[in-house]
């Protein structure tokens, strides 16, 4: 019983101690203060939202700065290229680059002024609009032209580079003497035999293999032999025979090894200037007659 009374006496003293302890009162007061909501105005909320949006935009700009710079560079480069191409095309098709002069290069037998006159309708045409079909039609009037190339030289010059056909001789017919090249293309026809052009005697005509072989042989001759050539005869592709203005006969044979045959012929003619005939059918051993 005495123990129980002691416990009862302790309880009131504990409650009284809590009430009298100032430190505990302060803690309770602080907790109460923290739990009270802080007053917030509408302006504060608006300012906070605006600051957040501003910070977000700044972050977006920072992260996309490199890509935006790249887009600006590419856009500027593409714009410059388009402007350059557009300006060049516009200038090329304008009268600023019209043909005012036609120059013919490569003509030796042909008269360059005649070719320039034939292409006169291209004067005043922009270089980019020169009509190549009309140029081709005009140059067909010159059979000596084998190939040609057009070269625009801004601002006003159109150059025509031509390669002339090489005549190999003449073929006699009722019409006269027709000058032909190695392909059998007729270059001109005259009543008299042109000086310096050998007479080609080929029964099969220009479409035969004998003529084609004869043409190859004539084109392979050294300049001094070609200048002395007066006649070419062939019945097949293997029996080409040449006649020189000295009366010498050269048995050539086929067109095979023509370069070596030409060297052998020149050396043999020097060693035997009075020979009546030279056979170079086998270029390793020339037969002098």
What number is the average pLDDT over the span 185-212? 93
Residue 148's CB: how many other CB atoms inside 10 A?
18
β-bridge partners, 145: 164
What number is the average pLDDT over the span 193-222? 94
The phi, psi pair for 7, rounded to 5°, reads: -65, -40
pLDDT band at 70 (very low <50, low <70, confident <90, very high): confident
- Overall pTM > 0.75: no
16-54 b/e (C-beta count within 10 Å ≥ 16 → b): eeeeeeeeeeeeeeeeeeeeeeeeeeeeeeeeeeeeeee
> pLDDT at residue 64 above 80?
no
Rounded to the nearest integer, the mean pLDDT of the chain is 82
Average the pLDDT over each of 85-89, 156-160, 205-209, 226-230 and give the range with the smallest value: 85-89
More confident residue, 98 or 55: 98
> pLDDT at residue 33 above 80?
no
What tens digit of pLDDT does each residue of 259-285 get?
A: 999 999 999 999 999 999 999 999 998
Three-state DSSP state, 223: helix
What number is the average pLDDT over the span 189-215? 94
């Amino acid at each position: 019983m005495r123990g129980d009374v002691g416990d009862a006496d302790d309880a009131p003293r504990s409650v009284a101690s809590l009430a009298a302890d100032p430190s505990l009162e302060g803690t309770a007061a602080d907790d109460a203060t923290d739990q009270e909501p802080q007053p917030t105005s509408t302006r504060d909320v608006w300012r906070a939202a605006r600051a957040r949006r501003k910070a977000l935009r700044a972050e977006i700009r920072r992260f996309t700065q490199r890509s935006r710079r790249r887009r600006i560079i590419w856009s500027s480069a593409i714009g410059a290229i388009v402007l350059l191409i557009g300006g060049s095309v516009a200038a090329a098709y304008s009268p600023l680059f019209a043909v005012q002069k036609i120059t013919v290069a490569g003509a030796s037998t042909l008269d360059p002024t005649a070719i320039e006159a034939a292409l006169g309708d291209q004067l005043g045409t922009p270089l980019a609009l020169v009509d190549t079909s009309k140029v081709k039609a005009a140059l067909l009037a010159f059979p000596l032209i084998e190939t040609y190339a057009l070269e625009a030289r801004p601002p006003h010059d159109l150059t025509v580079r031509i390669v002339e056909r090489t005549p190999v001789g003449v073929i006699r017919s009722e019409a006269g003497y027709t000058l032909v090249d190695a392909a059998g293309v007729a270059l001109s026809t005259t009543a008299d035999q042109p000086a310096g052009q050998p007479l080609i005697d080929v029964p099969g005509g220009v479409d035969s293999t004998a003529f084609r072989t004869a043409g190859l042989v004539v084109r392979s001759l050294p300049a001094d032999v070609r200048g002395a050539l007066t006649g070419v005869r062939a019945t097949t592709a293997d029996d080409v025979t040449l006649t020189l203005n000295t009366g010498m006969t050269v048995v050539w044979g086929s067109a095979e090894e023509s370069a070596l045959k030409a060297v052998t012929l020149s050396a043999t003619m020097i060693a035997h200037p009075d020979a009546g005939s030279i056979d170079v059918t086998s270029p390793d051993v020339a037969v002098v007659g």
